[in-house]
Amino acid sequence: MANEKELELACQKFRKILEEQLDRVENMKEQGDFVDYGKLDVVKIGVCGGDGIGPTITAQARRVLEFVLADKVEQGKVEFIDIEGLTIENRIAKGKAIPDDVMQSLKSCHIILKGPTTTPQKGSGMPNIESANVAMRKALDLFANIRPVKVPEEGINWTIFRENTEGGYAVGSSGFNVTPDLAVDFTITTKQGSDRIARLAYDYARKNKLERVSLVTKANVIKTTDGNFLEDCHKVADQYPEILTDEWYADIMTAKLVDKKRRRDFKVLLLPNLYGDIISDEAAEFQGGVGTAGCANIGKKYAMFEAIHGSAPRMVTEGRAQYADPCSMLRACVMLLSHIGLQDRADKLERALDICSFEEKKFVITGRDTGATCDEFGDYVMATLKKL
Ligand code: IPM
Ligand code: MG
């Protein structure tokens, strides 16, 4: 048969992928419960600035967070730790998505506050290393990417639960050319992976008295992996009889999100990784763009908080970095505070951000010198917090 050698090589590569994924399944089976931050003597928050506008907006988020947590820092209950080296230059120099020493520092913290990092793309001239976000989510097993979107005047209040370690992302850098003419990538779904994200989404809906969870897949086409995701989500849904579960295909969901009459009915969206990536950018656009949206990446042992957008290198080359919007990172800080059990402080910061962004709007970020600087906005948020 033609291409016998290539086929043999491809089968070997495929086998290796399957072996790694089967190991991952075994690890998931052995996982314990979520960390109880209340029981820790000190909560260590590692801060990585990232690339592009990352250092600017992360510094602002850290400043506000340090202000909100000043007493805890003083009492030694919260510690901020600078993590250097998660930059595109260093990652290229070390030839790794996350260099070993950086990974060690990340793992010595409980919580990570991370600025956007630049992701090289095939043919960009940069070495095609894996995205630092994706690598971190996988290495720290941050299986839930939670992305809230709120437009109060339109009745929009959505929380997107994006599976964060599987789907097209699990081995997104391990696809290969079988022959010069034939390329393959892989998408992965596991029972354990679907079950744990579904539980988190339904628990969230129950706790927050949200009456609907919408499952979004392309199970009509991607029959096995999306089909299993759907099946496993329904098994979890059965344990939450008070919550209505409905199903949508990802294409029609993108359309329904622009349907003003229907979209306010959505509450919690539960999706595999890639659809969650795409739909969360669309959803954030209604709120004022990706620059306004933050997210939590939650695992059993670690959690990482970041913006949902990229590093916007053009803002830096055009000399506009100081006008970058810190709201995405500040919204991520709201989720961080909530995650470590400081819900009242989370609520207060969220309130301050709502006042600054939607109500008072004394300082407005435009991304250019027509608007406020990132620093001015940070001051504005802290001044607003002081009045609450
Ligand atoms: C996100 C981003 C990342 C992703 C990129 C930067 C790899 O778009 O956090 O949504 O695709 O997950
Ligand atoms: Mg994205």
Q: In percent, how much of the chain has pLDDT > 90? A: 93
- Region 174-180: mean pLDDT is 96
pLDDT value for 129? 87
Residue 224 has pLDDT above 90, yes or no: yes
Q: How far is the CA of 55 from the centre of ligand 1 (A)?
A: 18
Determine if ligand 1 sits within 6 Å of the CB of residue 133: yes
Long-range pairs of 367-372 with CB within 8 A, sequence gap ≥ 24: 367/291, 367/315, 367/320, 367/323, 367/324, 367/325, 368/320, 368/323, 369/320, 369/323, 371/323, 372/323
Task: Produce one character per residue of 236-246: b if its CB has 16 or more CB atoms within 10 Å, e if not.
Answer: bbeebeebebe
- Overall size of the chain counted in residues: 388
Q: Please list, in sequence order, all residues whose beta carbon lies within 8 angstroms of the beta carbon of residue 299, skipping any fewer than 6 positions away.
A: 140, 141, 142, 143, 144
Closest atom of ligand 1 to CA, residue 116: 6
Q: How far is the CA of 309 from the centre of ligand 1 (A)?
A: 7
Q: How far is the CA of 134 from the centre of ligand 2 (A)?
A: 11
Residue 1 has pLDDT above 80, yes or no: no
pLDDT value for 122? 81
Determine if ligand 1 sits within 6 Å of the CB of residue 310: yes
Closest atom of ligand 1 to CA, residue 131: 7
Closest atom of ligand 1 to CA, residue 134: 7
Residue 167 has pLDDT above 90, yes or no: yes
Contact 138, 257 (CB under 8 A): no
Mutate to test the pocket of ligand 1, among 91, 112, 133 (most ligand atoms within 8 A of CB): 133
Which protein residue's CA is at the shortest distance from atom 9 of ligand 1?
308
Mean confidence (pLDDT) of the chain: 96
Q: Which amino acid is at 199?
A: R
The band of 94, judged by pLDDT with boundaries at 50, 70 and 90, is: very high
pLDDT value for 199? 98
Tens digit of each residue's pLDDT (9 = 90 or more) over 29-81: 999 999 999 999 999 999 999 999 999 999 999 999 999 999 999 999 999 99
Contact 304, 111 (CB under 8 A): yes
Tens digit of each residue's pLDDT (9 = 90 or more) over 322-372: 999 999 999 999 999 999 999 999 999 999 999 999 899 999 999 999 999
- Region 150-177: mean pLDDT is 95
Q: How far is the CA of 104 from the centre of ligand 1 (A)?
A: 23
pLDDT value for 119? 87
- Region 277-287: mean pLDDT is 96
pLDDT value for 218? 98
Q: How far is the CA of 50 from the centre of ligand 1 (A)?
A: 14
pLDDT value for 54? 98
Closest atom of ligand 1 to CA, residue 119: 6
CA distance 117 to 130: 11
What is the pTM for the complete model shown?
A: 0.95
Ligand nearest to the CA of 134: 1
The band of 243, judged by pLDDT with boundaries at 50, 70 and 90, is: very high
Tens digit of each residue's pLDDT (9 = 90 or more) over 20-38: 999 999 999 999 999 999 9
Residue 160's CB is within 10 A of a number of other CB atoms, namely 27
Q: How far is the CA of 1 from the centre of ligand 1 (A)?
A: 41
Determine if ligand 1 sits within 6 Å of the CB of residue 190: no
CA distance 249 to 245: 14
Tens digit of each residue's pLDDT (9 = 90 or more) over 98-143: 999 999 999 999 999 999 999 888 888 888 888 999 999 999 999 9
CA distance 237 to 157: 21
Of 352, 366, 350, the C-alpha closest to 289 is: 366
Q: Which amino acid is at 46?
A: G
Residue 207 has pLDDT above 70, yes or no: yes
**First-last CA distance in the chain:** 74
**Kind of pairing, strands 144-151 and 156-163?**
antiparallel
Residue 2 has pLDDT above 80, yes or no: no
Helix axes of 191-207 and 4-30: crossing angle, nearest 10 degrees: 40
Ligand nearest to the CA of 129: 1
Closest atom of ligand 1 to CA, residue 117: 6
CA dihedral 359, 387, 150, 169 (to 10 degrees): 130
Determine if ligand 1 sits within 6 Å of the CB of residue 131: yes
Q: How far is the CA of 367 from the centre of ligand 2 (A)?
A: 20
